[in-house]
Structure 1
């Protein structure tokens, strides 16, 4: 691989002159610039990004840390971040923590060693050590989706509580009262906010929640399947609010295995509005905002911070996107659930 000294030798100039041409750091005569540029083309010379970043103290690179890269929601969110960064001339280093706080901290160290200009973090649950580590980070930080307690950073998220309230109210307005709820891990702030929205909607309508009608799961399709199976074989709800779309998709499978018609025997609604939900059968009703839009907003918020370092005493921004109800084919009026008999084990 050609070096800057190779270019200088071919062009017949000093390597500092080559550096001035590459970085536009000082005026160079048109004749000398032409010689250097010709040598660069002939040698296929690629300037060192590391060296240039050390000089400029910027890399045009941001880090993105997500808790589960296999979840379509985070894949779509990452695409929104990537597209917005590309428009602004930034590259993205993607890291998946697998919902493991230790792996999350390890990736954070790697990203800092890469001299990123800023960081977007979707936290893997509660992690006091992560908050303390990020607090010592000099690069701008934007937290997306899940708040990190104890960290003073810009936050971009959807209104989780209102979204869950909208989803539950939708089921109540369809005439359902025996409603099951599948939550994500209770240790995450997202699950707590969505649970609160569910409880608030039920309380406002004076509807009692049946014993065992709230089941904790893990935000995965398999987890939603298991939780819905538990509900169908015990509580027998006429409707289910799933704390995310993947769990809602798992619930569709559990209903189909039991011969339940959706929405005739049981309505199912999710949360997040992932693209896959449009292509299930029936199409999954949901609440949320397109994940790409959240990713786009997070990236633009971070790039603003990179361009304008936060002034002393300036407050972190909290940007909350309003949720939208998408009533599709998986929710409908109450009817028929009393005739359901669970399949034999």
Structure 2
């Protein structure tokens, strides 16, 4: 079998350094025309294709971006990744993607693997890695963009959804429709966005003079596993509306209501959070606090690219959810204006 030539072999044949071979292949201007033509003739003659590892050893770049997510099956993350990948591809960058199902051991292995591959940057969405460890990690893996983590540290940028605002606006919307007995199903407390969403809900009740009833707050610790049970419990407490931590949870609430022979929104109103495409095809269509997920993915990727190019970038970018009305929430306010 014919031996595959390496970048060192081509350099010897051309009588130049491996750095010169790399400069020619990357069309850099620091090579005189005579040497460039000689190197290109030898490359063409031998059909040389350098390995990515060889190129990275010379250029100190791999054109690989590591992306760590808890669950790519979740439409929330899937749409964000679509925006990330499309933007990185347009900039001739490749994605090294790993999902960990929020397993801290897997997350640490991934970060070590990414370091071994000498990736050019990293995008982290990890609600489980604590702040102390993140502050230790980031200087070793910079540049880094954090999703839904606001951490002020050199070498990191943060893209966060204002979940407090979203939780507030969802509750406010229901209150203005005449609901005062509003249940909330909150996602796992390990994610700060769920804590913020709950605080927004509480503030809306306070601002509108509605007493907080702790028994109407349901805390989910394993995604979606207990939503059906929580819906049953809230129905027994005579809530007229339920607001949830994402659209998938809202879909589970609607299914639970169907199982209980209740109609949405006739018997109970439901609001989701995220605005995934699925929300448009639910029956009824879902009212939700919508986030521009694809565009957020583009912002994440563009921010990282600016950091890699040593250009100025926003350390913190805040994304505000927008209420998107479907048919899953009804008004209890009478339209009768007669005395």
TM-score bin (small chain): 0.7 to 0.9
Counterpart Cα distance in 1 of 2:289 and 2:49: 48
Q: Find the counterpart in structure 1 of residue 185 from structure 2.
A: 182
**What is the deviation of 1:207?**
1.1
The answer on whether the counterparts of 1:289 and 1:321 sit within 8 Å (CA) in structure 2 is: yes
The two structures have a TM-score, normalised by structure 1, of 0.85
Q: Find the counterpart in structure 2 of residue 57 from structure 1.
A: 60
Counterpart Cα distance in 2 of 1:69 and 1:130: 24
Q: Find the counterpart in structure 2 of residue 35 from structure 1.
A: 41
Counterpart Cα distance in 2 of 1:266 and 1:94: 40
Q: Find the counterpart in structure 2 of residue 277 from structure 1.
A: 279
Counterpart Cα distance in 1 of 2:170 and 2:186: 13
CA-to-aligned-CA distance 1:243-290 (integer Å, 9 cap, x gap): 111111111111111111111111111111111111111111111322
**What is the deviation of 1:225?**
2.9
Give the counterpart of 2:115 among 98, 109, 112: 112
Summarize the alignment of residues 24-173 of structure 1 with structure 2, pairs less than 5 Å apart: 24=27, 26-29=31-34, 32-33=38-39, 35-40=41-46, 43=47, 45-125=48-128, 127-128=130-131, 130-147=133-150, 153-173=156-176
Counterpart Cα distance in 2 of 1:8 and 1:121: 39
Structure 1 residues without counterparts, runs of 5 or longer:
336-345
Counterpart Cα distance in 2 of 1:5 and 1:291: 42
Give the counterpart of 1:227 among 227, 230, 234: 230
What secondary structure sits across from 2:118 in the alignment? coil
Structure 2 residues without counterparts, runs of 5 or longer:
334-339
Give the counterpart of 1:319 among 317, 320, 323: 317
CA-to-aligned-CA distance 1:43-96 (integer Å, 9 cap, x gap): 4x4211112112112122111111222211111111111111112221111111
What secondary structure sits across from 1:236 in the alignment? coil
* 320 and 211 in structure 1: CA distance in 2 versus 1, 3 angstrom threshold: closer
The two structures have a TM-score, normalised by structure 2, of 0.86
The answer on whether the counterparts of 1:245 and 1:286 sit within 8 Å (CA) in structure 2 is: yes
* 266 and 51 in structure 1: CA distance in 2 versus 1, 3 angstrom threshold: same
Q: Find the counterpart in structure 2 of residue 338 from structure 1.
A: none
Counterpart Cα distance in 2 of 1:149 and 1:31: 49
What secondary structure sits across from 1:270 in the alignment? strand
**What is the deviation of 1:220?**
3.2
Counterpart Cα distance in 1 of 2:134 and 2:23: 42
**What is the deviation of 1:33?**
4.7
Q: Find the counterpart in structure 2 of residue 328 from structure 1.
A: 326
